Structure 1
Amino acid sequence: MKHKKGCDVRRERNGDASQKGGRDSLDIMEHRGGGLGTSGGSTSFFEPTPGSRSYHGSSGTPGSERDPPEKRLTLFALRLAVLEKAASGLGKLAFAWATVVLLGGFASSLRIRDFWCVTVILVGEGARVFSRSHELEWQQHSTSTSTAGDALRSRSRFFRHIVHAIRDPAVAAAGCGDGRAAQFQRQVVAFVKQRTWHAPEVSLLPYTGWVFVSRKIGRLLNRLQLLSALACVALSLMRLWLNHDFGDESGDKRNMRPALLLFYTLALVEATLYLLEKAYWSWKMSARNLLRQVNDDCGLGEYGHVSLTRFFYDAYSRCISGSIFDGIKMDLVTFAEDLILSDFLDEQLIGVRILQRFAASERSARDTLRKVGTSQRSVERLVEMLNWKRPDERHVRQCAADVVSRLASKRQNVLRVSGIPGAIESVTSLLYTGRAPPVSGTHPQSSSSPVIVTRNNDDDDYLQFNLLGLQILKRLARDHDNCGKIGNARGLLAKIIDFTYAFPELLGNPYASELQVRAVKRALKVVEMLVYATGETGKELRRQVAENVFSVSNLRGILKHGHQHRELQKLATDVLTGLAMDDKGTEAIVATGGLVKLLLEIFVSVSAEELDLELGCEAGHALAMLALESRRGCAAILKRPDVIHRLVEALHDKRGLNAARVLRNLCAYSGSEHGDRLRAAGITKALPTVLNATMTGKDKVLEVSIGLTTEICRFIDGDQFAAELRAAGIEERNYVERLAGLLNQYRSAPEITIPRMRRFVVQQLVWLMTTGSGGYVEMLREVGMQQLLENVADTTSELECYHVFSGSVGIGKHREDFAEIVESAMDMLAAGSGRAAAQE
């Protein structure tokens, strides 16, 4: 996912801005930007997410106005069915007419020539019509996976070609020039032959060997049908041409001539329709290559030939067995859903292949995922397939995992997938790596890891499923409830954390497998989404991640060795920031040797490149969280001798926002034992920069600048502060008016993106009034501060009582109640005004 400034990191990285309707948005907001001279920020925890906001986005790009390609196949099946039913109907009528009228009424009066013509036509056409049109035959077409199994009833050169292709995949591959298509055909035939006979190879009679093998009999019968039709046409035309040679027409024979004429006409039309059907079939399939055209339009690739053949025969069988319009109601998605619900592995493979291709196509993905997602049975079967572990089920399982992953990419399908009993456990099965459980006291991947540089084919197979499983989990975790399910699934969180481990050889190898790096990246994204979950669920998940003995050390390894993979380092830093929201997470980070040092090194040593600056901002963000109300975190940061100097330098560039936050937290929470060191290290050197930012900054930059100013003022007196104002070129009255203007600007309610603005302003006012110099009380009274403070007292809210926010949930309540601070400021202002009046 591409990074974008000013965006919600949760939405950036999840690829979906929509939220579940009817509930509050609890995502953690993160605003990125430059330093103290910019209006952007880079923290997700210092402001809450607006509540009750729903995002309704399109589930996909608008579909094309063109008709689905498979409609050409169903239309072709309908037209064939019209010719077939017309020919069959006329054939049956001719059969009935011949048996009842001619042979029944004029059998003794017919000339020998007409008798044998009628008999030959009757036997040939009758056998052909009734064998072709039998409903069970076409039902067999629709249920037989291998079209080779229908050789006994094949009726065209094209169909015989399909029979030959399925029967001999090697020859078919040579003909089409595509080895993968041949492999797919070979898989289908192999599935058929597992526990059943392969129809083309069945010997119909015992002790006959290859003579009566079904495929040979099928070819013979197909040719006999064609010869029968040609003979019917020839005999009918001959007798109609010589219609004067029907014999004596006197007496009881006077109706024989019209009866014969009608029979020969019916037989001629019926046979002609059959030949026309054959010609139309051959023209569309062979000359026009209809299947290939539809396959190209559908985007089914090398596997589409077998799938579309199955679909066509299914549609054709419906048109033949029922109404001619039954077949045109079919579509490939419904056809594929029916196949995955089958009990036969070969049919499941064809069905899930179709769904995978359609779900991956930009043109058809939207409608396909919507249709499959609304079918509970289809989703349940796809999730069930994730558990299939037999070697012959590998391809079905992989395709099903891909489809489930794409289903979960749509917000409306997330809960449908996760709501299936055992769905999370099924996804967990994809994370199997083929290695033994970790031995106590060793790293879980120290002996055999899915992210090592050298792998065998089994590792590649496992890694493909691992990537799909992590992708599904990442998309499911966008929903808050699913984060809880993932955390509660037995052993799942530990497996995910295992994948965040990467050997130094992998991170330092510029030619490392992209799949291996991608597995680490996806695992980091999943962990990141879990630690950023909100409410009690997020608190519990952060605790679980922090208690895993490998989680923080894995992140340290990525920061230490991942210089060639900045995105992995950035994700690792994000996870550390989320963990630092919890006391246990802070303890785990500080207790991991060298981790805070690495974060400091990344923050103070970034280059001018955009990606390095982003990584540096993230590192500063993590440091700010570590120092927040944590003496141990502050002590770990202050171990570096020049840290204050480097942080003050960072105030002047795009890292300034986080540098200011780190400095403020160090001043506020490091404790009295570090106060002298902060003063000696030159913390006051930051005052000119933050004072200028107070006068010109906006939003988060302005907020943290005022907060840092208040904390630095604890190390100086009023006279020194006045000198700093003059050095920065700021008049004292202008500074006071600026503070008053901010309280007037946010007089109605605290701003949701900068909830601590009024708190920091009032704290600074309290300090100014306690200095006892500079006449600040009088200036505050003149700018109407009493009325402004009264207004603040009337509009205080719970929003201003917390340090950070996880969605709409506050974390880390301020030690001082804001209402008490405002009340204290009002009392001091009133007391100071009273003394001034008394002196006058």
Structure 2
Amino acid sequence: MPIASDGKGSASRGKEERANLEADIRVIMVAHAYVRTTFTTMAYLAFTWSTVVLLGGFVSSLRKKDFQCLTVITVVEAISIFNDLEADGRLKIDIWKIRKPQITGAGVRQGRPSGRFRILTVGVVRPLIIVQNMFSAYGPVISIGLSLWRLIVRDYATTHREEASLANLTPALDFFYFLVLFQGHLYQMLISIFLVKEDTFISQICEKCKFPQEWGKRSAAAYVQDIREKCMRDPGLASGRTLLSYAVGLLDSTSDEEYLCGVRILGILTKDGEEDATSIILRSRPKIQRLLDTLGWRSCPKSAGENAEIRELAARIVADLAGGVQLSQFPGAIRSVSSLLETTGQPYWKHNHQHELSSAERRLKKCIKLLNLITMRKKDTEHAGVVVACNELILHGFRILEGLACDAHNCRDICGDPSLLAKITAPLYSSTLIHDIGKSAAWAAVVNESLRVVHRLIHVAPGRAARRLRRGIFSNRQALTNLESFLDLAGNEPLTMRAMEILTQLVLDSSINIMTVITMETRGKLVRKQLQIFLAVADGWGEELKSTAGETLSMLSKNESTSEFIVREQDDTVDRLTQMLDTKEKNKYRIISAKILENVCIHCNEHVKQTLLRKVLEVHRKRTSEASERTNSVPGGNAEISEISLQGDDLEMQRQLHNGHRVNDNASNQEANEDEESDMKELQEALLSLTLVLLGEFNGAESSALMIPENDPAADGAFLEMLKDIVDNCQSQLTPISLSIVKLCGQISKSVMRGYRCTNDQKKEFVESLSKASETMANLETCVLFAGNDCGMEKITRPLLSDLEEELKDLVA
């Protein structure tokens, strides 16, 4: 059973810890908002009580010390009120939060402040700022001290006046001083708990998100402040406000500083796959447009360091979004993406498409040669600690193009831009490509990304655009030489995989004359290498390379001439492919083997039909027998056994069953378990499809003798019962692959019912199961029919389940 990697587990834990921290911040900030609202309300009440009741009604009765205390406390409360008004935007002229940057813009001549402005700043403005800051910071403390002193002494009376007047003054002053004391207690809470906690939150955010020192603390503080301000306006606004949503929101900011902050945070959060901002950003077209504009190398009015940094971060974000972006909806997008490839330091300008270079191109070629010398270095920027690898922008540019090329319309737009297409295919046409790859690992990485884009374009691009690109590559001898050289390139499996993928698409193109000498030679080299890698017994090849070799070989084997070549190349090729169906191999290799064998059987039935049929049916019978034994020995095991009826003694499936409870203990292993089950379904479909092709060439007594000999215990219809169990299990999983499996079982059952010793009861039970499946999967089948060829499901559409049901009912009757 595959176990989730440490990287994924660490990312999941980091995301969970950050989510808990964000929840704690929201709770504290909501509490802070309520305390702050209470504090401000009491400030209004104290100010009103002091000015209207005490100074307005008892001013002549107050002693001098009380009058002075009331005056100071009233000024402090007024400052609190003005600060609250300014924070809410209700104060038109901000006289209480004047800052030096706001006053240094005027009165400056040729970079130096004028004399009058200096006198005004030093003599008037700065003292006001100092006094205001002192009142804001120490005013509540002074108010607490004065109120506490007056409540302890309580010598409020000045003259012997009427008892009624004194009776009203004393409780009025007591109430006022107690009110100020309580307000002071709230102030202490704000300072000692919330502000201290806020600093802790900032440090924890920087630690858990691994923000760099240069801007991390500032960005974390801005996020906490944003939560606090939203809670002050409406505590409900903070619900669901995460660091990710905050960063995405900054992409709409008109401030370059805030935009850079948002891009930086997104770059950190999405770097290791901890967060996925794709769905959030794709909802807003202005955000995508601004990110695309940022890629343009003159788009950021910043210094060289910040410009390079923000382009690299924006490119990383756009690379994640590219799969959902339509180029036609964003003006200038192609030009912006293309600009990422203009800083290339790669020697790929020597190709056959450029016989003569203009003066500008010659200058660019010299610059490229110079840049190639520093490809592996990091270039210093104006900001300390900000470094960007020279070819990082290039790699991100190709990744963006690869994501964009998932859409056929984007492929047409990319192929329709000659300058961009020339940059993408330039490495492929280079006459020194192989030499340059051996000298520079960075260059090899760029070439790999370039070939990824080329493959995606020729595979996805519609009609004429793809054909034009394929013919351009095929007609260039240097390009074919480079691709063929990659097949035998030692120590660089990614480039070998890219070469296999591209050459496979070229060979499969019906518009290219398959009988040309070049094509025949290229196909021969490609198929030999694919067979060599995929059929290798030793683990000398990487798992991904082996899978790629098998998958591309499976695509090529659909062609009759290629299938014949596979059979003729080695006498034991079919036997070795058949051996890979055994349970010792990994599921994906078994799936690929079944698909290749199916294609070979269709085109070369005289070579493999009977031998392979016996082998496949032997596997079926063996697995059915072992499934029955486990069903009898394990209570309640029918559901599990029927699920793996075509896998039998599959070691991978056994590990899954034994470890099933442990797999469900965490989300990562659960996801791996689902992937494993998906592979099992795909393997089941491939084996059934192969069985159907094999049985299609036999009928009657010959089929019966091959499938169920006279002394075989399965002669009582166990094979048909196995197909029935598969149909029953597929009804609980309404997926296209389950629909395909049900249809394959129905088609196989026709041969079984015609040529095997099955009882009428067994036949009726199977038809009932198929009828039930037909009703359950009716909506799914309609969707598949509607999607048709657009989603690559043409093989699943026919025959209809209703047609199969009618045919089987006729056989039963």
Could you tell me which residue of structure 2 aligns to residue 455 of structure 1?
375
Deviation of 1:394 (Å): 2.5
Which of 209, 226, 230 is the aligned partner of 1:314? Answer: 226
Could you tell me which residue of structure 1 aligns to residue 394 of structure 2?
466
Q: 2:152 aligned with 1:241, yes or no? A: yes
Which of 56, 74, 86 is the aligned partner of 1:135? Answer: 86
Could you tell me which residue of structure 1 aligns to residue 680 of structure 2?
none
**How many residues matched?**
583
Which of 230, 248, 255 is the aligned partner of 1:337? Answer: 248
Deviations 1:178-209 (A, max 9, x none): xxxxxxxxxxxxxxx999x9xxx999983269
More displaced 10-residue stretch of structure 1: 563-572 or 547-556: 547-556
Taking structure 2 as the reference length, the TM-score comes to 0.57
Tell me, in whole angstroms, the C-alpha distance in 2 between the residues paired with 1:62 and 1:374.
26
Tell me, in whole angstroms, the C-alpha distance in 2 between the residues paired with 1:194 and 1:351.
28
Q: 2:516 aligned with 1:565, yes or no? A: no
Tell me, in whole angstroms, the C-alpha distance in 1 between the residues paired with 2:693 and 2:237.
70
Q: 2:337 aligned with 1:427, yes or no? A: yes
Deviation of 1:77 (Å): 2.9
Specify whether residues 267 and 752 from structure 1 end up closer, same or farther in structure 2 by C-alpha distance, changes over 3 A only.
Answer: closer
Q: How does 1:590-739 map to 2 (within 5 A)?
A: 590-591=517-518, 598-599=525-526, 602=529, 608-610=537-539, 611=541, 628=561, 647-648=570-571, 650=573, 652-654=575-577, 692-693=611-612, 696=615
- Assess if the C-alpha contact under 8 Å between 1:69 and 1:297 holds in 2: no
Q: How does 1:381-396 map to 2 (within 5 A)?
A: 381-389=290-298, 390=300, 391=304, 392-396=306-310
Deviation of 1:576 (Å): 0.8
- Assess if the C-alpha contact under 8 Å between 1:91 and 1:270 holds in 2: yes
Deviation of 1:421 (Å): 4.3
Could you tell me which residue of structure 1 aligns to residue 137 of structure 2?
226
Deviations 1:97-135 (A, max 9, x none): 322333333333322222222223223x13531343232
Deviation of 1:221 (Å): 4.7
2:391 is paired with a residue whose SS is helix
Tell me, in whole angstroms, the C-alpha distance in 2 between the residues paired with 1:464 and 1:374.
27
Deviation of 1:406 (Å): 1.9
Q: 2:217 aligned with 1:265, yes or no? A: no
| Aligned amino acid, residue 340 of structure 2 | L
Could you tell me which residue of structure 2 aligns to residue 726 of structure 1?
none
Q: 2:16 aligned with 1:69, yes or no? A: no
Specify whether residues 213 and 497 from structure 1 end up closer, same or farther in structure 2 by C-alpha distance, changes over 3 A only.
Answer: farther
Specify whether residues 269 and 65 from structure 1 end up closer, same or farther in structure 2 by C-alpha distance, changes over 3 A only.
Answer: closer
More displaced 10-residue stretch of structure 1: 330-339 or 416-425: 416-425
Q: 2:373 aligned with 1:373, yes or no? A: no
Which of 184, 196, 213 is the aligned partner of 1:283? Answer: 196
More displaced 10-residue stretch of structure 1: 347-356 or 251-260: 251-260
Tell me, in whole angstroms, the C-alpha distance in 1 between the residues paired with 2:239 and 2:596.
67
| Aligned amino acid, residue 293 of structure 2 | E
Unaligned runs of 5+ in 1: 3-59, 145-149, 155-166, 168-192, 638-642, 669-685, 710-732, 746-750, 754-804, 811-840
Deviation of 1:216 (Å): 10
Q: How does 1:523-542 map to 2 (within 5 A)?
A: 523-533=450-460, 536=463, 538-542=466-470
Instruction: Choose 1 or 2 for highest CA Rg.
Output: 1
Could you tell me which residue of structure 1 aligns to residue 444 of structure 2?
517
Deviations 1:293-350 (A, max 9, x none): 3444566565542222112223333444x34554557443443233211222211111
Deviation of 1:236 (Å): 1.2
Deviation of 1:238 (Å): 1.4
Deviations 1:648-674 (A, max 9, x none): 465553499899999999x99xxxxxx
Could you tell me which residue of structure 2 aligns to residue 504 of structure 1?
434
2:79 is paired with a residue whose SS is helix
1:432 is paired with a residue whose SS is coil
Tell me, in whole angstroms, the C-alpha distance in 1 between the residues paired with 2:46 and 2:279.
50
- Assess if the C-alpha contact under 8 Å between 1:569 and 1:615 holds in 2: no
Q: 2:252 aligned with 1:348, yes or no? A: no
| Aligned amino acid, residue 578 of structure 1 | Q
| Aligned amino acid, residue 177 of structure 2 | Y
Could you tell me which residue of structure 1 aligns to residue 411 of structure 2?
483
| Aligned amino acid, residue 457 of structure 2 | L
- Assess if the C-alpha contact under 8 Å between 2:340 and 2:393 holds in 1: yes
Specify whether residues 327 and 492 from structure 1 end up closer, same or farther in structure 2 by C-alpha distance, changes over 3 A only.
Answer: same
- Assess if the C-alpha contact under 8 Å between 1:132 and 1:153 holds in 2: no
Could you tell me which residue of structure 2 aligns to residue 825 of structure 1?
none
Deviation of 1:279 (Å): 1.8
- Assess if the C-alpha contact under 8 Å between 2:291 and 2:314 holds in 1: yes
Question: Counting helix residues as a fraction of each chain, which structure ranks higher?
Answer: 2
Deviations 1:147-171 (A, max 9, x none): xxx99689xxxxxxxxxxxx9xxxx
- Assess if the C-alpha contact under 8 Å between 2:500 and 2:552 holds in 1: yes
Tell me, in whole angstroms, the C-alpha distance in 2 between the residues paired with 1:661 and 1:590.
28
Could you tell me which residue of structure 2 aligns to residue 50 of structure 1?
none
Specify whether residues 652 and 696 from structure 1 end up closer, same or farther in structure 2 by C-alpha distance, changes over 3 A only.
Answer: closer
Which of 58, 63, 83 is the aligned partner of 1:106? Answer: 58
- Assess if the C-alpha contact under 8 Å between 1:402 and 1:468 holds in 2: yes
- Assess if the C-alpha contact under 8 Å between 1:102 and 1:260 holds in 2: yes
| Aligned amino acid, residue 497 of structure 2 | K
| Aligned amino acid, residue 413 of structure 2 | K
More displaced 10-residue stretch of structure 1: 91-100 or 415-424: 415-424
| Aligned amino acid, residue 474 of structure 2 | A
Deviations 1:763-816 (A, max 9, x none): xxxxxxxxxxxxxxxxxxxxxxxxxxxxxxxxxxxxxxxxxx995799xxxxxx
Specify whether residues 353 and 443 from structure 1 end up closer, same or farther in structure 2 by C-alpha distance, changes over 3 A only.
Answer: same
Higher relative contact order (CA 8 A, sep 6+): 1
| Aligned amino acid, residue 310 of structure 1 | A
Deviations 1:361-381 (A, max 9, x none): 65542xx43222223332333
Tell me, in whole angstroms, the C-alpha distance in 2 between the residues paired with 1:258 and 1:134.
30
Could you tell me which residue of structure 1 aligns to residue 48 of structure 2?
96
Could you tell me which residue of structure 1 aligns to residue 508 of structure 2?
581
Tell me, in whole angstroms, the C-alpha distance in 2 between the residues paired with 1:204 and 1:439.
65
| Aligned amino acid, residue 119 of structure 1 | T
Deviations 1:615-659 (A, max 9, x none): 7767867987999499xxx9xx9xxxxx99854465553499899
Deviation of 1:243 (Å): 1.3
Unaligned runs of 5+ in 2: 3-11, 356-363, 380-387, 580-592, 618-686, 710-719, 721-738, 742-789, 796-813
Tell me, in whole angstroms, the C-alpha distance in 1 between the residues paired with 2:446 and 2:105.
35
- Assess if the C-alpha contact under 8 Å between 1:451 and 1:519 holds in 2: no
Could you tell me which residue of structure 2 aligns to residue 49 of structure 1?
none
1:491 is paired with a residue whose SS is helix
Deviations 1:70-109 (A, max 9, x none): 3433333333333333233322322233223333333333
Tell me, in whole angstroms, the C-alpha distance in 2 between the residues paired with 1:498 and 1:581.
23
- Assess if the C-alpha contact under 8 Å between 1:233 and 1:271 holds in 2: yes
Tell me, in whole angstroms, the C-alpha distance in 2 between the residues paired with 1:660 and 1:325.
61
Tell me, in whole angstroms, the C-alpha distance in 1 between the residues paired with 2:474 and 2:219.
49
Specify whether residues 601 and 346 from structure 1 end up closer, same or farther in structure 2 by C-alpha distance, changes over 3 A only.
Answer: same
Tell me, in whole angstroms, the C-alpha distance in 1 between the residues paired with 2:372 and 2:334.
27
| Aligned amino acid, residue 129 of structure 1 | S
| Aligned amino acid, residue 80 of structure 2 | V
Tell me, in whole angstroms, the C-alpha distance in 2 between the residues paired with 1:563 and 1:371.
43
Deviations 1:15-64 (A, max 9, x none): xxxxxxxxxxxxxxxxxxxxxxxxxxxxxxxxxxxxxxxxxxxxx99996
